[in-house]
């Protein structure tokens, strides 16, 4: 069955290119600045705690301003909101590049996050609108490449620009992309229908407070010792109170901030749970592997980027394959296939050692990227398959926010587990290092250490630390494997949109 409700567009290819450039530009900036932080710290005369806010301010602003995307698109039109967002994001990027102090940088990063927040959900909704239903799989595959490849290329590109030019080029690189995207969108992008709906200010305020507190807990928790910190407890208290007020208010409001109809669609609600777990795996592994390779195996930054590149190649390959299969195969089968690949890759990653071969690092990363592509595209297609088109922009914003929250929680989770496990493993290994275990008796130990006792003990401590860290990383990989296994039964709650279309 064909879909005649989509917008027929002669210049669909150019609009798609503009959308892709905007998507890549926004997603790239979530990770590209990470590797440049040490250089920014010295240039802006910032402390360690202050420079972290360069990342935190962007993430929090982006998360909060993702929420009103649906209302803004309905009230002012998708084209106007999208083009203003691209222009504002590009201008904010230039301001970040010329920032002279840490205060200016944080302010400009907040602006960058506010303008960039709606770009990904509006890009997704527009791609669905300008393509017929039978081509939604291919459209989501093309759009998904920008979303998935951005975080993978970000650290490598950021490292290259910082080392060979200047950290300011991390932001200046957005200028040509932004200009091209803005020009194509303003002349070629079709507008969407307007929806006159009152703006629920109280709902927006309370829900923004919830999202902001969650992000602050996740970003600040590890630095201030989590729930032993009054700061984290304050965020938790504010967030819980705001969530309670939002739920009570939404039940009583005639026009709640988030339209209730989108949460009555079973495919969308189930997909939100699924994308949350996918978000955990998407960036958590990428947060673990670089320090694993640099700190334990001694690889330089550039080599780490090259070794992780096949993960992106695997994702691109699977997206090209699944884009064609989505229209011919039950999407639930493709999702289960992707889950199987992802579980297999994580299982083999639990077999890593301190001296894991390079080829194993490469093929496990490629296998995981291949599996995530099989999950991501069918899930994005099936999530909106049974949803009315007028709700797409709002649902896409909730979908994007849920994925980002999953990624933030996943990174905080694995890093918290890593730190705890390293301490536990170190204590366990240390208490089992005895003269007998080393092949000495107590009488022989002074003689064995006489030549270079202090150096021998230092080397022993270093090796214990390395082994404790290795085991902790493997525990994290195992934890993620169990998370993917636990999410697999959610496939049974999804309905096949192809059967719905045939009715």
Residues 246-265: what's their mean pLDDT? 79
Closest of 303, 302, 340 to residue 318, by C-alpha: 340
- What CATH code is assigned to 10-197? 1.20.1250.20
Q: Is the dihedral of CA 4, 137, 124, 401 positive or negative?
A: positive
Tokens standing for residue 394? 């709002």
Taking the C-alpha atoms of residue 354 and residue 357, their distance in angstroms, rounded to an integer, is: 9
Residues 218-239: what's their mean pLDDT? 80
Question: Do 182 and 83 meet the contact criterion of CB atoms below 8 Å apart?
Answer: yes
pLDDT classification of 302: cutoffs 50, 70, 90: low
Lowest mean pLDDT among 178-187, 271-280, 390-399: 390-399
pLDDT tens, position by position, 142-176: 777 777 666 667 767 777 777 778 788 888 888 88
Non-local (6+) Cβ contacts of 6 within 8 A are 129, 130, 131, 132, 133
Closest of 76, 70, 66, 71 to residue 27, by C-alpha: 66
Residue 101 has what pLDDT? 86
Residue 48 has what pLDDT? 63
Residue 501 has what pLDDT? 46
Residue 90 has what pLDDT? 92
pLDDT tens, position by position, 383-422: 777 777 777 777 878 888 888 788 777 877 787 788 888 8
Tokens standing for residue 91? 């201008």
Residue 373 has what pLDDT? 82
Residue 91 has pLDDT above 90, yes or no: yes
Residue 448 has pLDDT above 70, yes or no: no
Query: Measured between alpha carbons, how far is residue 85 from residues 28, 69, 113 in Å?
Result: 16, 11, 10
Residue 35 has what pLDDT? 66
Domain boundaries along the sequence of the chain: 10-197, 199-258, 259-433+449-503
pLDDT classification of 503: cutoffs 50, 70, 90: very low
Question: Do 219 and 52 meet the contact criterion of CB atoms below 8 Å apart?
Answer: yes
The pTM score is 0.74
Please give the residue that has the higher pLDDT: either 348 or 442.
348
Residue 450 has what pLDDT? 55
* CATH class for the region spanning 259-433+449-503: mainly alpha
Residue 451 has what pLDDT? 55
Question: Do 432 and 401 meet the contact criterion of CB atoms below 8 Å apart?
Answer: no
**Topology agreement, domain 10-197 and domain 259-433+449-503:** yes
Non-local (6+) Cβ contacts of 264 within 8 A are none
Residue 1 has what pLDDT? 38
CB burial class (10 A; 0-12, 13-18, 19+) of residue 448? middle
pLDDT, averaged across the chain: 78
Taking the C-alpha atoms of residue 101 and residue 464, their distance in angstroms, rounded to an integer, is: 42
Taking the C-alpha atoms of residue 333 and residue 496, their distance in angstroms, rounded to an integer, is: 10
Please give the residue that has the higher pLDDT: either 468 or 53.
468
Residue 320 has what pLDDT? 79
Residue 344 has what pLDDT? 93
Please give the residue that has the higher pLDDT: either 128 or 93.
93
Residue 151 has what pLDDT? 66
**Start-to-end C-alpha separation, the chain:** 10
pLDDT classification of 2: cutoffs 50, 70, 90: very low
Please give the residue that has the higher pLDDT: either 353 or 348.
348
């Amino acid at each position: 069955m064909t879909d005649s409700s989509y917008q027929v567009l002669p210049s669909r290819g150019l609009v798609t290119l503009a959308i892709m450039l905007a998507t890549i530009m926004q997603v790239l900036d979530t990770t590209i600045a990470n590797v440049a932080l040490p250089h920014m710290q010295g240039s802006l005369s910032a402390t360690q705690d202050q420079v972290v806010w360069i990342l935190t301010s962007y993430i929090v602003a982006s998360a909060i301003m993702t929420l009103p995307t649906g209302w803004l698109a309905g009230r002012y039109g998708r084209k106007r909101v999208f083009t203003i967002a691209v222009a504002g994001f590009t201008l904010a990027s230039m301001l970040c590049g010329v920032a002279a102090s840490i205060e200016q940088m944080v302010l400009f990063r907040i602006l960058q996050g506010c303008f960039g927040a709606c770009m990904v959900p509006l890009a997704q909704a527009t791609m669905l609108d300008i393509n017929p239903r039978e081509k939604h799989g291919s459209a989501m595959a093309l759009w998904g490449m920008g979303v998935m490849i951005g975080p993978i290329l970000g650290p490598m590109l950021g490292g290259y620009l910082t080392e060979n030019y200047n950290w300011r080029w991390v932001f200046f690189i957005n200028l040509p992309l932004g200009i091209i995207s803005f020009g194509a969108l303003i002349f070629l992008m079709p507008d969407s229908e307007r929806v006159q709906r009152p703006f629920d200010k109280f709902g927006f305020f309370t829900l923004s407070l919830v999202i902001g507190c969650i992000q602050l807990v996740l970003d600040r928790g590890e630095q201030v010792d989590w729930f032993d910190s009054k700061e984290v407890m304050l965020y938790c208290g504010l967030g819980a109170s705001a969530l309670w007020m939002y739920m009570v208010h939404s039940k009583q409001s005639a026009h709640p901030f988030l339209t209730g109809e989108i949460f009555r669609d079973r495919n969308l609600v189930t997909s939100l749970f699924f994308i949350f777990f996918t978000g955990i795996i998407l960036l958590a592994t990428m947060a673990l592997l670089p320090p694993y390779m640099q700190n334990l195996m001694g690889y330089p930054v550039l080599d780490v980027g090259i070794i992780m590149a096949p993960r992106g190649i695997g994702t691109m390959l699977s997206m090209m394959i699944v884009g064609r299969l989505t229209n011919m195969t039950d999407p639930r089968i493709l999702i289960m296939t992707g889950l199987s690949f992802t579980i297999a890759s994580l299982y083999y990653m639990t077999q890593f050692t301190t001296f894991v071969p390079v080829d194993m690092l490469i093929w496990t990363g490629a296998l995981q990227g291949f599996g995530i592509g099989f999950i991501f595209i069918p899930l994005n297609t099936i999530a909106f398959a049974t949803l009315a088109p007028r709700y797409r922009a709002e649902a896409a914003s909730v979908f994007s926010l849920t994925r980002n929250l999953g990624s933030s929680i996943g990174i905080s989770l694995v890093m918290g587990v890593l730190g705890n496990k390293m301490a536990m493993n170190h204590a366990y290994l240390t208490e089992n290092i005895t003269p007998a275990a080393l092949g000495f008796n107590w009488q022989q130990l002074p003689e064995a250490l006489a030549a270079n006792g202090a150096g021998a003990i230092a080397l022993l401590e270093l090796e214990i630390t390395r082994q404790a860290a290795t085991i902790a990383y493997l525990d994290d990989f195992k934890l993620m494997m169990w998370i993917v296994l636990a999410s697999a039964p959610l496939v049974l709650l999804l309905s096949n949109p192809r059967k719905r279309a045939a009715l």
